[in-house]
Amino acid sequence: MNYSPLIKTGLVIAFLTGLAINLSTSIQNIMVAVFLVASVFSPYLRDALRQAVKNGFIRAAVGLYLLLVLGTLWGDAPLSDRLSMLLRFILYLLSPLVYVYFYYSPNVKAFFLGFASCVLLSVLLSILSSLSGLDFFHPSTGIHTQFVGLKIDLFRGHVYQNYFAGLLSAVLLVLLFEGQIKERVHRMVAIALLLLLFVDVFFFVTGRTGHILYVLMVVIIALYYMKRARLRVLAGLLLLMIPITLYLSPHIQDGINRAISDLNLYEAGEANTSIGLRLTFYKNSLMLIERSPLYGHGTGSFRYEYERLHDKVMRSVGNPHSDYLWFAVELGAIGLAGFILFLSVGIWQSLHTPRPYGLLAFVLIITYAVSSVTNSFFTDNITGQFFILALCALMAEGKS
């Protein structure tokens, strides 16, 4: 049977799915739905599913979702909130199908090519916007426009843009270190792109999370290649770049100053700041955990339980800005342990995935785990979907 038209269509779907990650939430949701339907018609469905069920990360993802399903059996949260939480994590349940789609290696390349293309476009727009003073792109909001009466939001805010630009930088660094970019002209292009991404992240776009995660990626990659004698000098230069960047970047200095100011204001009783609100959310989340420490208040219960606290700073909050606290509030110690086990299995699987895919998977998991201390990368629709898509792609491509 000739699968050529089907395979060509699959490449387009993979590319557009990757492109949508940094473009638009609506387009992303549409493409993920198309992606999942297309995976059912994959000519590799049977063989790929056999491989998927052997993958520890896939098993852990499905297991975590089943734990969320179990958590809907208790608590007082509205049914709509419970279903909303299950919908946030639906790709965890469907991760075997995601793996199936990426079982065909060219689909992996198409997905990441689409992702990289949109990230680079947003980086160019942010730099051009800052230099020209034109208000077509704002790093904290993205592009907002009207089309035939419909409001369309394009590109991501500073948290996503910084992180996605950092991930693309990590991919380029690893490919260069691995010698997979062989031609001299291609290496020069890769180095130029690295410089462009670096300048955008630290000198044009705000966002403490993105800066911290970028540095973390560089540290992981540099330490990894320190083990290889011929790459020690390059890895050392990467590490040397960090303190220089921290000193020269105005956004880094501004972020540090704002953090100190926020803490001082919080101690003075003013909690309506970025850090002040987070500390308030954390304090109230711990109160909720104390009320049901073992099995929590049930899947999807955070908003409902938070409103019952009648907090004076912010009465209604749907997001504690920490995935660890979110799981602990809704599913207690059992849920938190399940979440940490899921991360641990993912790390283990990345270490048993061939290089460079395993290294990139490791970087992705560690940065998500760190970011989710003060953010919600796993429960956020944008980053949550990307996590499953990217990891399944890396692990399917790196299958032994």
Distance between CA atoms of 32 and 40, rounded to whole angstroms? 13
Q: What confidence score (pLDDT) does residue 134 get?
A: 58
**Torsion (CA) 318, 34, 58, 5 in degrees, nearest 10:** -160
Measured CA distances, 134 to 138, 141, 145 (Å) = 9, 14, 14
Q: What confidence score (pLDDT) does residue 250 get?
A: 73
Q: Is 55 left (phi over 0), alpha (psi -120 to 50) or beta?
A: beta
User: Mean pLDDT per 10-residue run, the chain (400 residues)?
Assistant: 68 95 89 94 88 94 97 94 95 96 93 95 81 55 48 61 92 92 91 91 80 88 82 77 72 74 75 80 92 95 92 82 95 96 96 93 96 91 94 84
Q: Where are the beta strands (DSSP E) in 244-375?
A: none
The continuous run of DSSP H or E covering 149 comes out as none
Q: What confidence score (pLDDT) does residue 140 get?
A: 45
Three-class SS string for 205-267?
CCCHHHHHHHHHHHHHHHHHHCCCHHHHHHHHHHHHHHHHHHHHCHHHHHHHHHHHHHHHHHH
**CB neighbour list of residue 288: distance below 8 Å, 6 or more residues apart:** 297, 302, 305, 306, 309, 329
Distance between CA atoms of 118 and 20, rounded to whole angstroms? 8
Q: What confidence score (pLDDT) does residue 80 get?
A: 95
Nearest to 91 by CA among 367, 330, 393: 393
Distance between CA atoms of 110 and 173, rounded to whole angstroms? 19
The one-character DSSP state at 394 is H
Q: What confidence score (pLDDT) does residue 158 get?
A: 64
Q: What confidence score (pLDDT) does residue 157 get?
A: 65
Q: Could you check whether the bond before residue 356 is cis, i.e. omega within 30 degrees of 0?
A: yes
Nearest to 163 by CA among 104, 223, 213, 111: 213
Decide if 188 contacts 158 (C-beta within 8 A): no
Which residue(s) pair with 144 in the sheet?
153
Which pTM does this prediction carry?
0.90
Distance between CA atoms of 42 and 44, rounded to whole angstroms? 5
Decide if 196 contacts 205 (C-beta within 8 A): no
Strand, coil or helix: 3: coil
Q: Where are the domains of the chain?
A: 64-96+271-400
Strand, coil or helix: 153: strand
Q: What confidence score (pLDDT) does residue 258 get?
A: 77
Distance between CA atoms of 286 and 267, rounded to whole angstroms? 19
